[in-house]
């Protein structure tokens, strides 16, 4: 299955995008919904919170009084760590259950408000950010959600910055326009990128490319794009990768080149290179040929039709 990480600042319109993706057939895994579900009345999570913070965090009906919990849980670093030690494993377990239940050919959209803050981008096949100017977001929060402006500004300031979100974004959806205008972008993304990406990933075949890619002007985004790819490869390779480097023409600042990122993974020996074959295919970088080249290098290419990447796995010895 294809895993999409979806995030955006408060008021950016993430819910609109998530709803549109579900209408096209995506399986939605909503972190906010899960976070409420695991501490609902009668759950192990709520019982653990009461044991840790006291029965006065409960409302009269036995549900969690969130402001009362927040007053205690965010009073000290130790209390916050206690809260996280209770809720994070439960959220993680439930998230894993929902993903495991999705169909093998599913496109799973994980709606994660704190995706950037929690460093989850490298674990996704693709990260989609819903973007809107801060003043636009503030207006929406005040007008449509009834949030006090000062409170809205404080909440926005506590989240990742726009620059931090864009640094991990493979796709940025502009939602500064009229209500619903972003839906057209979502539909194009679904048809032209997500559906073929899922198919390529499932059957382990690289995305189609022209026989010869034209040389284009240097793209200042190439280094950031390479860093995102390298982060995903690092998760898959773990300690088996001695080095992962952006190499080739797109690694040279200001130089025109074919719009293909070249990444080189250096490993200890050919046995390690062979062991990485399936792990790389699992995250969307299947081998191009069955056998290594004459010098022992293994060539992989990615399954994402929206970003051409070649990965060479080279044994040091």
Residue-wise pLDDT tens digits, 70-125: 889 888 989 989 999 999 999 999 999 999 999 999 999 999 988 999 999 999 99
Indicate if 94 and 110 belong to the same structural domain: no
The pLDDT of residue 10: 86
201 inside domain = no
Q: Which residue has the higher pLDDT, 113 or 58?
A: 58
**Residue 82 shares a structural domain with residue 115:** no
Phi-psi label, residue 254: left if phi above 0, alpha if psi -120 to 50, beta otherwise: left
Q: Is residue 290 part of a domain?
A: yes
Residue 198: inside a domain? no
Asked if residue 238 belongs to a domain, the reply is: yes
* Residues 158-171: tens digit of each pLDDT: 888 999 999 999 99
- Residue 72 annotated as part of some ligand binding site: no
Residue 293 has pLDDT above 90, yes or no: no
CATH of the domain at 249: 3.30.460.10
| 54 and 139 co-located in one domain | no
Residue 208, pLDDT score? 95
Ligand-binding annotation for 255, yes or no, is no
The answer to whether 12 is annotated as binding is yes
State pLDDT tens for residues 238-282. Answer: 999 999 999 999 999 999 999 999 999 999 999 999 999 999 999
Interval 232-247: pLDDT, tens: 999 999 999 999 999 9
The residue out of 56, 75, 104 marking a domain boundary is 104
Structural domain of residue 74, as residue ranges? Answer: 31-104
**Does a structural domain hold residue 188?**
no
Final residue of a structural domain among 104, 126, 159: 104
Encoding tokens for residue 152?
A: 């809205």
- The annotation status of 16 as a binding-site residue, yes or no, is yes
Split at pLDDT 50, 70, 90, the class of 292 is confident
H helices of the chain, in order, are 14-24, 31-37, 44-53, 66-73, 77-101, 134-144, 149-158, 162-168, 182-189, 195-203, 222-237, 270-282
pLDDT at position 317 is 67
Residue of 153, 45, 314, 83 lying closest to 300 (CA atoms): 314
| Domain match, 160 and 13 both | yes
Same domain for 35 and 133, yes or no, is no
239 & 307 share domain: yes
Asked which of 104, 129, 159 is the last residue of a domain, the reply is: 104
8 and 65, same domain (yes or no): no
Q: Residue 216: exposed, middle, or buried by beta-carbon count in 10 A (0-12, 13-18, 19+)?
A: exposed
* Residue 14 annotated as part of some ligand binding site: yes
Per the CB < 8 A criterion, the answer to whether 3 and 96 are in contact is no
Structure token digits, residue 26: 């995506």
Query: Residue 210 falls within a domain, yes or no?
Result: no
pLDDT tens by residue, 160-200: 899 999 999 999 999 998 877 899 999 999 999 999 999 99
- Same domain, residue pair 130 and 248: no
Asked if 45 and 150 sit in the same domain, the reply is: no
Residue 175 lies in a domain: yes
Q: Same structural domain for residues 246 and 278? A: yes
- 284 labeled binding residue: no
Tell me the CATH number at 7. 3.40.50.300
In this structure, the number of other CB atoms found within 10 A of the CB of residue 172 comes to 16
Total of domains in the chain: 3
Mean pLDDT of 136-140: 88
Q: Domain for residue 284, yes or no? A: yes
pLDDT range class, residue 316, cuts 50, 70, 90: confident
User: From CA 172, how far away is CA 178, in angstroms rounded?
Assistant: 17
């Amino acid at each position: 299955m294809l895993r999409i990480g979806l995030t955006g600042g408060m008021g950016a319109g993430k819910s609109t995008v998530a709803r549109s993706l579900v209408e096209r057939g995506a399986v939605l895994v909503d972190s906010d919904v899960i976070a409420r579900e695991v501490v609902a009345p009668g759950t192990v999570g709520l019982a653990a919170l009461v044991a840790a913070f006291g029965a006065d965090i409960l409302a009269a009906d036995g549900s969690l009084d969130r402001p009362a919990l927040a007053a205690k849980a965010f009073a000290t670093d130790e209390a916050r760590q206690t809260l996280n030690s209770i809720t994070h494993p439960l959220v993680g377990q439930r998230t894993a259950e929902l993903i495991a239940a999705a169909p093998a050919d599913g496109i799973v959209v994980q709606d994660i408000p704190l995706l950037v803050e929690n460093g989850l981008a490298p674990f996704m096949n693709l990260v989609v950010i819903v973007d809107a100017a801060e003043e636009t977001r503030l207006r929406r929060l005040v007008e449509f959600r009834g949030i006090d402006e000062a409170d809205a500004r404080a909440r926005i300031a506590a989240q990742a910055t726009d620059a931090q979100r864009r640094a991990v974004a493979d796709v940025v959806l502009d939602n500064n326009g009229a209500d619903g205008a972003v839906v057209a972008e979502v539909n194009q993304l679904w048809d032209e990128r997500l559906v073929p990406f899922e198919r390529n990933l499932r059957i382990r075949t690289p995305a189609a490319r022209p026989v010869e890619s034209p040389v284009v002007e240097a793209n200042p985004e190439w280094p950031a794009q390479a860093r995102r790819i390298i982060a995903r490869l690092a998760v898959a390779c773990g300690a088996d990768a001695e080095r992962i480097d952006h190499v080739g023409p797109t690694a040279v600042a200001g130089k025109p080149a074919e719009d293909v990122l070249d990444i080189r993974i250096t490993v200890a020996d050919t046995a390690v290179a062979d062991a990485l074959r399936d792990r790389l295919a699992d995250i969307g970088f299947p081998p191009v040929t069955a056998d290594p080249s004459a010098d022992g290098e293994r060539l992989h290419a990615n399954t994402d039709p929206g970003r051409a990447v070649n990965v060479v796995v080279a044994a040091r010895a």
